Structure 1
């Protein structure tokens, strides 16, 4: 079972507000844009409609 503190820390990390990983820093997998491979496929017209790039977080 996940603690309330654990959830709060996790959410703060994604916002860049967790002192434990450095204020203003985000997890390395949170790059704020699609992975380069996904971007290349979009630009090549391989997708139609919306795409969810779920990542690993």
Structure 2
């Protein structure tokens, strides 16, 4: 569980880039998904033709 330590430099660079872009466009909060990119793509495609709503994650 967690991030692979070998990806630390990539994660840090991505986080800094995201923070910089968010500040420049005036975004003060982000929603982080606990699901993967493939799930998001599936959800986007499926919800375009149906009325799906995401289920909240347990805390």
Q: TM-score range by the shorter chain?
A: under 0.3
Q: Which has the higher helix share?
A: 2
If asked which structure has higher relative contact order (CA below 8 Å, sep 6+), I would say 1
Q: TM-score, normalised by structure 1?
A: 0.28
